[in-house]
Every structure is written in structure tokens, then in C-alpha cells.
Amino acid sequence: MCLNTLALSIAFMFALAGSAVNAAERWEQLPEPVPLPAAEKSGTAPVNGIEMYYAVFGKGPPVLLIHGGLGYADIWGAQVADLAKDHTVIVADSRGHGRSTRNADAFSYDLMSSDYLALLDYLKIDQTALVGWSDGGIIGLDIAMNHPDRLTKVFAHAANSKVDGLKPDVMQNKTFAGYIDKAGGVYRKISPTPAEYDAFVTQISGMWASQPNWSDDDLKKINTPVAIVVGDHDEAITREHTDYLAKTIPGAELIILDNTSHFAMLQDPEGYNKAVRDFIDK
């Protein structure tokens, strides 16, 4: 083999090795959720004209985990397994998501917040800590604004208060696109309306086009202790908007999750669980 050919071969091998390293970056991965443990109780609750799936685990101070758009309760498997050791952990599928039904009512964050409050009423839980991811974090902030008596703390991960807090190229991101593809597959397996995924996405997209749209004064009404949380490689939420939320909500704590993206609870469950506990249990 001539020296030029050898050099090219070595360069090619280094390029492949570099690609493998890049492909292995934790924040680019989309691991499968850890299976949920056995629930203390589960079922569906009649809520605002829909049937809302829920499950409850463990005993202790309550904590409600709310998933993001197109997600479902099982995405919290690793968090439930940890928190249920000393907490009553409640998970649910938001309206139209997972095993929950939807109706013709237009999606809004106020309506989805009302769903979760009604679920807490159904379960006879007066007050809870809330861990929300993406849409779940927005729902948490909505409840903190309008029903602060129901919450002890809010861990708001990858939330936004205005549409312009989203990155304009999020839909071109490979990891985010992979999540959407997986979400469609899960919906078709577990939804009571498995053939209606496209209709469901169309319906909820009407909300995403214009909501949330909160003013500074809205955010300044929040007096519940709040953590504003984002992965340092989040594909969807800009860091500038995250900093804005942390500065505008009175007393908010800013938490940056290292080497993770929008899907930090899947990519680094141990680190995520520690961040949650450090905030809600202190």
C-alpha cells in the first residue's frame, strides 16, 4: 500500500471513529422509557367530558408528573421508580394522549390545567408538588398562576411562556423528529382511537400555534416556588427564553441539566431524579 493510500485509509478510519463518537453523544439519543413499576391503583377518571387515564404509586408527600406534547405517562418510568420510594406519585395521560380520550373542545393550556386539577380532586389530593416536562411544564406554570393553593412546588422542565420561546428549526432536528415518530407508534398501540393520530395532532396543533402567550405581569403573579429547568442541548426551547423565565418569575431557580436535550429524563435519569429531589424535597 502506498503512503498516500495508507494516509487516506487512516483518515477515513478517524472520520468513522469521529462519527461514532458524535452519534454516541448523550443529548442526541432517545432511549426507550424504563417500564413503570406496578401501580397502587390505576384507571380512568371522568374529567371535563373525557376519560383521563391515571396511575398512582408509592406513599408519602404527593408529586404529580405531567408529560409533554404527544407523550404519555409511561415516559416517567425511571422517575416513578425513584420517587415512589417515599412519595405518592401520580401520573396521567393528558387529554387525547396515550390512553385518555378527547372530545371536540379546543385544546388550551387552561383546559388541560383544569383536567389535572379535576383529576387531583377525583383522587382527593388537595396539594402536590408538580414536575412537568414541555407541555407539562407549561401546565404547571398555568396552575401556579391561577390555582397556587394546589401546588407546593413546580419543577418546570423545557417550558415556554410565549410561542417565540421555541426554536424555529425544532422540527428539522433529528432527535425531535424521532420522538414524534415514536409518539405516533405508541398512540396507535394504546389509544382508544388508534386511527385518529393525525386528527389529534391537527387538533392540538391549533393550541401550539398561539399558546401560551403570557405577559410579564402574568408570570410575576406566581408565588409558588418554581424551578425553571432546561437541558444544555435542548432542541426546542431557546436558552434566552429559559433565562427570561427564570428572571421574570419571582424567586425562580434556574437549573441547567448537563449533556442533555429536551428529553433529559430519558437521557440522564439519575441526574434528572437528583435535580427533581434536590428541588422538591429541600
In angstroms, the CA 154 to CA 136 distance is 10
Q: How many CA atoms lie within 13 A of 235 on its CB side?
A: 20
pLDDT the model gives residue 45: 98
pLDDT the model gives residue 21: 43
In a domain, 22, yes or no: no
Domain containing 103 — which CATH number?
Answer: 3.40.50.1820
Domain count, the chain: 1
| Helix 109-122 vs helix 135-146: crossing angle, to nearest 10 | 80
* Tens of pLDDT, residues 123-138: 999 999 999 999 999 9
pLDDT the model gives residue 281: 97
Strands 62-66 and 88-92: parallel
pLDDT the model gives residue 1: 40
Residue 215 DSSP SS3: coil
- Which domain, by its residues, includes 252? 35-280
pTM higher than 0.85: yes
Contact 90, 125 (CB under 8 A): yes
In a domain, 24, yes or no: no
pLDDT the model gives residue 7: 38
- Cell numbers 425553571 correspond to 228
Q: Which of 279, 243, 273 is nearest to 260 (CA)?
A: 273
In a domain, 5, yes or no: no
In a domain, 120, yes or no: yes
| Type and span of the H or E element at 20 | helix 3-23
151-172 as b/e: b if 16+ CB within 10 A: bebbbbbbbbbeeebbbeeeee
In a domain, 1, yes or no: no
Instruction: Outline where DSSP puts E strands in 48-173.
Output: 50-57, 62-66, 88-92, 128-133, 151-157
Contact 153, 227 (CB under 8 A): yes
Residue 229 DSSP SS3: strand
The partner residues of 5 in beta bridges, in order of sequence, read: none
In a domain, 14, yes or no: no
In a domain, 17, yes or no: no
For the chain, 282 residues long, give each residue's pLDDT as a single digit of tens. Answer: 433 433 333 343 334 334 444 457 999 999 999 999 999 999 999 999 999 999 999 999 999 999 999 999 999 999 999 999 999 999 999 999 999 999 999 999 999 999 999 999 999 999 999 999 999 999 999 999 999 999 999 999 999 999 999 999 999 999 999 999 999 999 999 999 999 999 999 999 999 999 999 999 999 999 999 999 999 999 999 999 999 999 999 999 999 999 999 999 999 999 999 999 999 999
In angstroms, the CA 45 to CA 139 distance is 19
pLDDT the model gives residue 23: 53
Q: Which of 239, 241, 259 is nearest to 249 (CA)?
A: 241
Residue 60 DSSP SS3: coil
* Tens of pLDDT, residues 187-223: 999 999 999 999 999 999 999 999 999 999 999 999 9
Identity (one letter) of the amino acid at 200?
Answer: F
Contact 102, 77 (CB under 8 A): no
